[in-house]
Amino acid sequence: MATFLIVPAAGSGARLKSPLPKALVPVLGHAILSWTLEALAPIPFDRVVVAAPPDRMPDFERLLRGKAAVVAGGATRSASVRRGYQALGAHPDDFVCIHDAARPLITAEEAQSVLVAAKASGAATAGTPIVDTVKRVEGERIVATIDREGLYAAGTPQVFRASLLGRAFDTGREATDEAGLLELLGVAVTAVPVSRWNVKVTSPEDLELVEALLKRRRKD
Ligand code: CTP
Ligand code: MG
């Protein structure tokens, strides 16, 4: 039974408004992708596959220097993950961990806790309990307040037994994350709480936050 890592890194980062693909944007002198892989390095994955923008493959290969296989990503995050999965040629009993390149603040301990949960149940995702009061808004008008009890913001890592993930892909259905695809199949997915630091670098202010936190961790 092998454990693989897929890192979707093929997005352009439109909301970050950077000329570089988001995964290559430097923070404290290193690409976001490098920080992310460094954070997960203590976990002995059997193979790591990074999905890169098809027109930037050489840049990613140069950065990774053989430490991970690079595959051409697709037009959407889920298409990129699928391409990474195809490249693995996983056995049904293997486990596949998916972690966004854009989440460099994940810790190996947190990723390990998601792996442990998935190995027990077949499927698990990291998430953070919602702390704000959640409103549904139409136009400018609030139309509902949603009870936040039990609400989680789903993030990554997401870890699945390959047989379940493969079956979910085979349905050809779409969901916003792989956990959602498995839910459509009726598979129970375990929610594993992780720290709110596990932000996804999305907008320029997230970069400031990530830089400050990485600086602090480097000193610790
Ligand atoms: N991703 C990917 N392939 C895509 C789109 C996204 O592999 N076609 C990856 C991103 O590189 C990122 C993760 O999925 O690591 C989460 O996506 P997101 O934060 O939305 O990144 P971008 O799509 O690059 O950002 P934006 O939506 O602002 O363009
Ligand atoms: Mg996106």
Digit-coded pLDDT (tens) for 74-124: 999 999 999 999 999 999 999 999 999 999 999 999 999 999 999 999 999
- Asked whether the predicted pLDDT for residue 181 surpasses 90, the reply is yes
Work out the pLDDT band at 218, boundaries 50, 70, 90: confident
The rounded Å distance from CA 123 to ligand 1 centre is 22
The rounded Å distance from CA 77 to ligand 1 centre is 6
Instruction: State percent of the chain over pLDDT 70.
Output: 100
Task: Please compute, for residue 95, the number of CA atoms within 13 A of its CA located in the half-sphere on the CB side.
Answer: 21
Work out the pLDDT band at 133, boundaries 50, 70, 90: very high
The whole-number pLDDT of residue 89 equals 93
State if residue 73 touches ligand 1 by the CB under 6 angstroms criterion.
yes
- Asked whether the predicted pLDDT for residue 59 surpasses 90, the reply is yes
User: How far apart, in whole angstroms, are the C-alpha atoms of residue 41 and residue 87?
Assistant: 20
State if residue 10 touches ligand 1 by the CB under 6 angstroms criterion.
yes
pLDDT in tens, 147-172: 989 999 999 999 999 999 999 999 99
User: How far apart, in whole angstroms, are the C-alpha atoms of residue 192 and residue 195?
Assistant: 10
State if residue 100 touches ligand 1 by the CB under 6 angstroms criterion.
yes
User: How far apart, in whole angstroms, are the C-alpha atoms of residue 202 and residue 31?
Assistant: 15
Instruction: Report whether 101 contacts 23 (CB < 8 A).
Output: yes
The rounded Å distance from CA 195 to ligand 2 centre is 22
pLDDT in tens, 22-36: 999 999 999 999 999
- Chain-wide mean pLDDT for the chain? 97
Q: What is the DSSP track for 112-151?
A: HHHHHHHHHHSEEEEEEE--SPEEEEETTEEEEEE--TT-
State if residue 17 touches ligand 1 by the CB under 6 angstroms criterion.
no
Work out the pLDDT band at 220, boundaries 50, 70, 90: confident
User: How far apart, in whole angstroms, are the C-alpha atoms of residue 144 and residue 137?
Assistant: 7
CA distances 91 to 38, 94, 121, 166, 183, Å, are: 26, 5, 17, 10, 22
The whole-number pLDDT of residue 219 equals 80
The whole-number pLDDT of residue 43 equals 98
pTM value is: 0.97
Looking at the CA of residue 201, tell me the nearest atom of ligand 1.
19
User: How far apart, in whole angstroms, are the C-alpha atoms of residue 187 and residue 68?
Assistant: 30
Q: Find the mean pLDDT for residues 36-59.
A: 98
